[in-house]
Chain A
Amino acid sequence: MENSIIQVQGVSKIFGGLTAVNNVDLEVSEGAIYSIIGPNGAGKTTLFNCISGFYIPEHGTVLFKGQPLNGRSTDTICSLGLSRTYQNIRLFSNLTAIENVMVGQHPRLQENWIDAILRDRRCKREERESVAEGYKWLEFVGLSEFANAISGSLPYGAQRRLEIARALSSKPVLLLLDEPTAGMNPQETLEMTSLIRSLRDKFNITIILIEHDMHVVMGISDQIAVLDFGNKIAEGKPAEIQKNERVIEAYLGPGGAALANKYRRKKAS
């Protein structure tokens, strides 16, 4: 595929006796919103961890911007333009919101410890700029009034948005979001959905999403991959996936396809 930001080729991740991810291929083109769905335990987060460099797959490769990730450290990967959020929110809880976002800018700044001690021009300039930029990102996710609040004390939805702001402040080209709407009410979910869309629309950031909320997934995805027990069982546009029998059975169990058809007929009548 032209313009693939990321290519996952035959990746398998095995933990002792358990094959969490089994020979998965996928390709995401630049500027796309790509969702990975599947029942619990399907291996979605594991796949994420392989893509983002947290895990080294036993088999296969991951190519980011054409270069293999190849066991690079996660900080290198971040400076190459890949950022992510986490299923259980992992903020720097005892730092304030703006400090979290300022840490996110770390790979793009150059002030070193000598600059810090001497407080030279570079230091002063970068401090000023990172505060300003921090506020910008906070404002973008709607958290500028919480800038100096301890991030661990923020409400749940705000923490999720802060995590995204932190991931954004390194100006990534690829953003991995792990269940961004988990635990949110419909209103918050809508806001998060439009936020995600605007990331792609305004900044051309490619987004890979793990999600359970089907409204969200079907609403914003360009492509969807479905995992079940570590295998990719389907891939395609939202409409195709919705009708895919294997996918339905993965979620509803055997005979699920028939059940879904019955329900659809009832709805139509």
Chain B
Amino acid sequence: MNDPSPHPLDPAGDKNLNAEPASNKKPKLKRSRLIKLLRPALGVVVLLYILFRLYQVLIVQHEYGADTWTRLLISGLIIGGVYALIAIGYTLVYGILFMINFAHGEVMMFGAYAALYSFWAFKLIKMPGDINFLNAYPVIAIILAFIIGMSVSATLGYFLEKIAYRPLRKAPRLVPLISAIGASIFLQNAAMLLFSPQMRDVSNPDILRRGAGWTISVSGSNVILPYTGVFTFVLSVILLIMLYMIVQRSKLGRAMRAVALDKKTAALMGVDVDSTISRTFIISGALAGAAGVMWGLHNGLVYYFVGFIPGIKAFTAAVLGGIGNLPGAMVGGMLLGIVESMGPAALGINFQLKDVLSFVILIIVLTFRPSGLLGEVLSEEKV
């Protein structure tokens, strides 16, 4: 694009060009024909295998009833929503700065801690009538917890960018990546030292008790639609829609898209690049904070390492959908959640391997579509 010359630490120089020219394969003609056949052949093999396993599990063995599938689907959608929220954070930052914000999971973790402490504090406030604030005004408590959690994360995101990323904006890609990794390690350990390594239970308000929910009857057994789960999913969708509106319709959104496409020209057109980037980090942080609060409400356990794995999963989801692509992150997140949840059962694989499944899916998708599901197909490079 407008990047003049790569740097030793910048692998493969070209930033936005994530696919090789389609037919640059081995020189000898026969070899190239063979290689050209290899990928579709591989694709067919994989597809057949998947169909075979599905057939086995669904038709032949019939191990799981519809109730199990419903349960798995529900939990898949819930976790998918959380992944989507975090994935959006990654993709927003990547779209603008072309860097992986490795510390994003930690931003989510601090949001979760903020919610944890808020709920605790509310629980400690005694109200007349032998009830505490948390249960007296649960809706206000929840709203406050979200505001606090999202603010903490947004602030953290802002300072993270200001201290660890902004000075490195012109550096080759590996440098801010290592800085992000360093920030991630620092934040994790800061949380550990500040809040102790203990795993903490989140005190939900009674109306949103963990585990409780509406009971629906599916093929004879009872399946619980958890209150926390529905809440998480609905809120995720609402936030995603709001974000999409902001990016597509608002002035800030236009500025963000302009900076993402061409920083220098956007600056020449009067866009305050620094402020736009800061605000992107604030938004991405706020979303991660919301995800953290929801995680706390639904999963109940908060500790210093809680952001790490969802962070990696969400990043995988963002890449799966096409990194830099907003709807892609949403789709990727939901898809990953569902695949993780229902995949092992559907393919008859041990549940321990569910992460393996996610990564294998990622590799398969990227093998056939190197820029992700919804990513731009950049088939030929501009010279």
Contacts and interface: CB of A to CB of B under 8 A. Distances in A.
A73 B8 contact: no
Contact of B383 (A79, A86, A91, A152): A86
Given A88-B4, A93-B6, A94-B7, A73 B25 contact: yes
A75 B6 CA distance: 21
A45 interface: yes
Given A71-B23, A73-B25, A76-B27, A56 B4 contact: no
Contact of B5 (A54, A76, A79, A93): A93
A119 interface: no
A153 B8 CA distance: 14
B interface, size bucket: 10 to 19
Given A93-B5, A93-B6, A94-B7, A56 B25 contact: no
A56 B26 CA distance: 16
A75 B23 CA distance: 13
Interface in B1-27: 4-8, 21-27
Interface string B363-383: 000000000000000001101
Interface in A57-84: 71-76, 79
B174 to A, nearest CB: 13
Contacts of B6: 93-94
B26 to A, nearest CB: 7
B27 A73 contact: yes
A140 interface: no
A49 B25 CA distance: 17
Nearest to B10: A94
Contacts of A251: none
Interface in A221-237: none
B236 to A, nearest CB: 34
For the complex of A and B, list the 6 residue pairs with the smallest distance between their C-beta atoms, beginning with the closest: A76-B27, A93-B5, A73-B24, A71-B23, A94-B8, A54-B383
Interface of B: 4-8, 21-27, 380-381, 383
Interface of A: 45, 48-49, 54-56, 71-76, 79, 86-88, 90-91, 93-94, 152
22 contacts: A54-B380, A55-B21, A55-B380, A56-B21, A56-B22, A56-B380, A71-B23, A73-B24, A73-B25, A73-B27, A74-B24, A76-B27, A87-B383, A88-B4, A90-B5, A91-B5, A93-B5, A93-B6, A93-B7, A94-B6, A94-B7, A94-B8
